[in-house]
Structure 1
Amino acid sequence: MTRQDFRAAVEADDRFAVTWELIPGRGSHEPQQEEVFEDAETAASGDVVDAVSLTDNPGGTPALSADYLGMKLKERGIEPLVHFTTKDKNRNQIEGLLHALEREDIHNILIMSGDHQGPAFEGQAKAVYDLDPVQTLDFVSDLNDGFEFEDNFGRHNELAETDFFPGAVVSPFKRLEAELMPQYWKLEMKVEKGAEFIIPQVGFDARKFHELIKFIDEKDLDVPVIGNLYVLDPGSARAMNENRIPGAIVTDDLREEVEAEQEGEDPHQAMLERAAKMYAFMKGMGFAGVHIGGHAADYDDVEYIVERGEELAPDWEEYVSEFDFPMEDGFYYYERDPETGLNADEHAILPENPSTGLKYKGFKVAHELMFEPDGPLFGPMRWFSKKVDDSALEEPFTTFERVTKTISNDCQECGNCALFDMAYLCPMSQCPKNERNGPCGGSYDGWCEVYPGEQECIYVRAYRKLKADGGLEKAREKLRDTYIPPPDYDLEGTSSWLNYYLGRDYAGKRVGNEVADD
């Protein structure tokens, strides 16, 4: 095998790309950082790894920055794949870091929300979710096309085109219909906004890997998928099984299997053999490559997995039954094929039959009366808003809205209200990551990553309410077909009702509201 440029390796029909995940860890000159540099140099001297994948503060804990590390490792002769998370950067910092990466010819970036903030200096760090991954991909696409903007003096500017190769993530490893469908819809949005490759989160259910490939083919997304191949050791299996690593799924059966292997003759070899079989079935299913991770695997192990996986690949279907690890009562998008143990072409019946609830019904009535352009109160409200704006009535009007929406939705006064498109749920108060275009991958059993067992994922709730209201079509219209741009913080603290009726926010602009002279 000859190592290639990462983009070329992913896009080539005759190549199965390999990335190896390295975790920088906290510190500057600690053993973990030295090990990362040594591992990268070893990979650069070999011919197996096409890119080293560099994590960005996994677990929400501080670490040596992935962008800096990518620049340094490129100097050592290995292509970096920089994890680019949006959890602790506002849009200005995102842009600045992207310019720095482009300047250093670092083009491979994997865009994701990232794990919520964990312990840091003097307590937990403040999360900064200014752009979500869909919005970030949209921005990167604009940069690749030559970003145009007006400066503070009103002059038009256009930047030189960048050459980013942006990827995105998705998790097919969800137990509930209401978790899985928004995941796949968000995947469609990510590809639509410019994702050029996809890496799923960690899981070990062969049928779910196959489901992802089938869904992408069915939707004609035309995007390569790199399979996430985690070399599973007992400690990681235990942590994933206990939901201590968001988005990584290990069932009870798999955990027991991994722990039982520790009593065998060669536990490490058993771990590598499992990984090699995953390599084989991923190649057989049509993945474009593998993303190899895991604390227990060194470079020699990576080479073994690739070489052994290539040996096993011609007979990959024989190993599918060894990766039959469904979540209890888990939902699959396709019916099961009894012959292969994978997925048939027929869609599974969507099992959930939710109800909207009285609160949703009340919001819907108010929305149709006041906020729909053909509603009977829309015209009077728009006329009234123009009279209130910049008058003595604006402050009491805004206060009334604030009190009403704080009671009903815990309003955060962003001034860019997304209730219309999210089943009358607020992403600023009811999603710790402020996701406006679909769920992150960290939910588990329908619960929010940050508040498991306490707060349902906002997108699980939104999906169910929308499906109950208008079926799958209504849910898809709002959660797939509607792109919500990032908030304009010029509007923070102002009346979102005025902003809507006067065409200042995204929702008002979408329906054609504008300030007009009467």
Structure 2
Amino acid sequence: MTTNTFKESILDDEEFGVTWEHVPGRGAREQQQDAVFEAAEIASEGDVVDGISVTENAGGNPAISAEYLGMKLQDLDVDPLVHFTAKDKNRNQLESLLYAMDREGIQNLLVMTGDYQNDGYQGQSRPVYDLDPVQIMDLISDLNEGLEYTDKFGREKSLEPTDFFAGVAVSPFKRLESELVPQYWKLEKKIEQGARFVIPQVGYDARKFHELLQYVEDHDLDVPVIGNIYVLDPGSANAMNKNRIPGVIVTDDLLEDIETEAEENDDDGKQARLERAAKMYAFMKGMGYDGVHIAGHEVDHDGVEYVVERGEELVPEWREIVEEFDYPMEDGFYYYERDPETGLNTWERTTLPEQPKQSLTYRGFKVMHDQLFEPDGALFGPMRWSAKKVDGSRLEEPYQMTERMVKTASNDCQECGNCALLDLAYQCPMSQCPKSQRNGPCGGSYDGWCEVHPEEQKCIYVKAYRELKADGGPEKAREKLRELYIPPPDWELENTSSWLNYFLGRDYASKNAGIEPPTSGD
């Protein structure tokens, strides 16, 4: 029987943690839910699995609560790893669930953006995305430190500290520089806000797995990294190849190999799939990963056990195995130069190849921004003076209507009252990102296209990166997209003028710009 907890297994340099993922699905008493509990009972009697991972509404479909399953798994003496997102819940509900899990002793969380909503009861569910993963990590860190707050009577209070061990996901499997670099910058932000471990998205390119480890070490991020192994069957491979599962990359060459194995073997290629997974285990452990996360359609405990035991046998050969996982994306960007001797990467950073040009829209916004919204701009003083005069007067409504017309025409403004345009190269995360991500891209983009609107709408962070790089090079892009933490919207400001909020020092953007609320003498 395993005695390690998930946390111990990945923090102990002498251990190599193993988690086994389950997708519980829709319903309360169907086979998919029973399978989770059956797997937990088997895992608790063995010495291979250190934690059972349970997904939250995978694919954007309704499913039994991951938080509930985590609590029940704990009762079965299995350490759960609960997937935790804000795609279906606002910040108050997230906080409530965190209290419940803390009360039940659930520590391990995998914080993610989450798949966009799919069909629900009588139609598609409305997305929430009240917090992004960076902001969720901020909340969890505050809870771990003992959240301080002011109650409705104005009294200062603090809560008992929680003890969550929360990690995050990242997707190194991106073809474009403008997709990949913001992914890594968002990872840095997540770790800065308290993430304790990292799991990459599903992929099969050994260089990319190596690249992630290098980036973590190169930037002194100092967190354990857990490899992701999906035992790839033909049906899943085909869906991933067609981009039906966002953020996952299966190239044409890999799909062909998977289908050939299924055709040429009496077991439909099952043994070949498990052998491939065992080889991934081996090269990940050899590279220096701190554990692995094993998933796959109908992968039972015997399959997990095979991957681990066979993987351990292959670890001494991991460098030779690497060449079998040469599945690059066509013209794909790598953060580090290739090492021809190993087939992995050197420590030399790749010259950033994209040479974007500023759009006319960006130039126009920038000229207006520099004059109106920068404290040293020529029109900043008059704008602040007029904002003070307008605020609370009969002129406020026509003032806000003017703003509404300008920003609706230019950015489809949703009037959140917490405008982030100034910090995201004039891209609006509330109207132009279906997931309302304010601190970096989700993992679902493909070839620069938005996960929700492929071939129709570019990811706003791809556009923002290119505009900022064209304006001031990678340094300016990093300053805006990496260095700045954007808090969640304060919905008390919804349907108010973001111009007034900015010039009168009410929102986060004004605070970042050093704009104080006016005093009576101003």
Q: What is the aligned partner in structure 1 of residue 414 from structure 2?
A: 412
Distance between the aligned counterparts of 1:85 and 1:99, measured in 2?
A: 15
Counterparts of 1:425 and 1:457, CA distance in 2 = 10
Aligned runs of 1:461-480 on 2, under 5 Å? 461-480=463-482
Q: 1:489: which partner in 2?
A: 491
Q: CA deviation at 1:21?
A: 0.1
Among 392, 397, 404, the alignment partner of 2:399 is: 397
Aligned to 1:277: 279
Query: How far is 1:153 from its partner?
Result: 1.2
Q: Distance in 2 between matches of 1:2 and 1:239?
A: 35
Secondary structure at 1:426 match in 2: coil
For each residue in 1:233-271, what CA deviation from the matched residue of structure 2 results, as whole angstroms up to 9, or x when unmatched? 111100000000011110000000000001233411101
Cα distance in 2, alignment partners of residues 376 and 129 from structure 1 = 38
How far has the Cα of 1:4 moved from its partner? 0.2
Structure 2 unaligned segments of length 5 or more: list them: none
Q: Does the 8 A contact of 1:170 with 1:199 survive in 2?
A: yes
1:154-180 superposed Cα distances (whole Å, 9 cap, x missing partner): 111100000000000000000000000
Residue in 1 that maps onto 2:383: 381
Count matched residues.
Answer: 518
Q: Which residue of 2 aligns with 1:22?
A: 22
1:51 equivalent to 2:51? Answer yes
Counterpart of 1:438, as a letter, is: G
C-alpha distance in 1 between matches for 2:154 and 2:481: 35
3-state SS of paired residue (1:52)? strand
The answer for the alignment partner of 1:516 in structure 2 is 519
Q: Distance in 2 between matches of 1:355 and 1:3?
A: 57
C-alpha displacement of 1:2: 4.3
Once residues 261 and 96 of structure 2 are traced to their aligned partners in structure 1, the CA distance between those partners, rounded to angstroms, is 48
CA deviations over 1:414-468 (Å, ceiling 9, x no partner): 0000000000010000000000000000001110000111111010000000000
CA distance in 1, matches of 2:512, 2:452: 32
Report if the CA contact (8 A) 1:3-1:49 is conserved: no
Could you say which residue in structure 1 is the equivalent of 2:261? 261
Per-residue CA shift, 1:17-42, capped at 9, x if unaligned? 00000111100111111111101111
Instruction: Provide the residue aligned with 2:187 in structure 1.
Output: 187
Give the equivalent residue in structure 2 for 1:72.
Answer: 72
Alpha-carbon contact 2:2-2:49 (below 8 Å) kept? no
Partner SS state of residue 88, structure 1: coil
| Distance of 2:514 and 2:337 partners within structure 1 | 43
Q: 1:444 aligns with which of 439, 443, 446?
A: 446
Secondary structure of 2:18's counterpart equals: strand
Provide the C-alpha distance between the structure 2 equivalents of 1:98 and 1:129, rounded to a whole number of angstroms: 17
Indicate the SS of the match to 1:461.
helix
Contact 1:231 / 1:296 at 8 angstroms: preserved in 2?
Answer: no
Q: Does the 8 Å CA contact 1:3/1:48 hold for their aligned counterparts?
A: no
CA contact (8 A) 1:25 1:62 kept: yes
Between 376-385 and 479-488, report the one with greater CA deviation.
376-385
Q: Following the alignment from structure 1 to structure 2, what is the Cα–Cα distance between the partners of residues 116 and 236? A: 19
1:111 aligns with 2:111: yes
Is 1:85 the counterpart of 2:95? The answer is: no
SS state at 1:262 partner: helix
8 Å contact kept, 2:91–2:131: yes
- Superposed CA deviations along residues 276-309 of structure 1, whole A, max 9, x for unmatched, are 0000000011100000000131100000100000
Amino acid paired to 2:281 = Y
Measure how far apart 1:349 and its partner are: 1.4
Listed as ranges, the matches of 1:200-239 within 5 Å are 200-239=200-239
Please tell me whether the aligned partners of residues 429 and 437 of structure 2 are also in contact (alpha carbons under 8 angstroms): yes
Q: What is the CA-CA distance between 1:515 and the residue it aligns to? A: 2.2
Question: Alignment partner of 1:484: what SS?
Answer: coil
Q: Which residue of 1 aligns with 2:325?
A: 323
What is the alpha-carbon distance in structure 2 between the residues aligned to residue 163 and residue 456 of structure 1?
A: 39
Structure 2 partner of 1:433: 435
Find 1:311's aligned residue among 299, 310, 313. 313
Q: How far apart are the structure 2 equivalents of 1:45 and 1:117?
A: 37
Computed over aligned residues only, the root mean square deviation of the Cα atoms, in angstroms, reads 0.8
Contact 1:233 1:296 in 2 (8 A): no
Q: In structure 1, give the amino acid aligned to 2:197.
A: F
Q: Which runs of 5+ in 1 are unaligned?
A: none
Q: Is the 8 A contact 2:2 2:44 kept in 1?
A: no
Please say if 1:123 is aligned against 2:123: yes
* Cα offsets for 1:215-248 (capped at 9, x unmatched): 0000010000000011111111000000000111
**Identity, % of aligned positions:** 67
Match of 1:455 in 2: 457
Aligned counterparts of 1:187 and 1:406: Cα–Cα separation in 2:
32
Q: Tell me the TM-score normalised to structure 1 length.
A: 0.99
Number of the residue aligned with 2:9: 9
2:42·2:301 contact (CA, 8 Å) conserved in 1? yes
Name the SS for the 1:470 alignment partner.
helix
Could you give the per-residue CA deviations for residues 459-482 of structure 1, whole angstroms, max 9, x where no partner exists? Answer: 000000000000000100000001
Alpha-carbon shift at residue 512 of structure 1 (Å): 2.3
Counterpart CA distance in 2 for 1:198 and 1:390 is 48
Partner amino acid for 2:51?
A
Task: Give the match for residue 332 of structure 1.
Answer: 334
Query: Given residue 334 of structure 2, which amino acid in structure 1 is its aligned partner?
Result: Y
Provide the rounded CA distance (Å) in 2 between the counterparts of 1:443 and 1:247.
Answer: 6
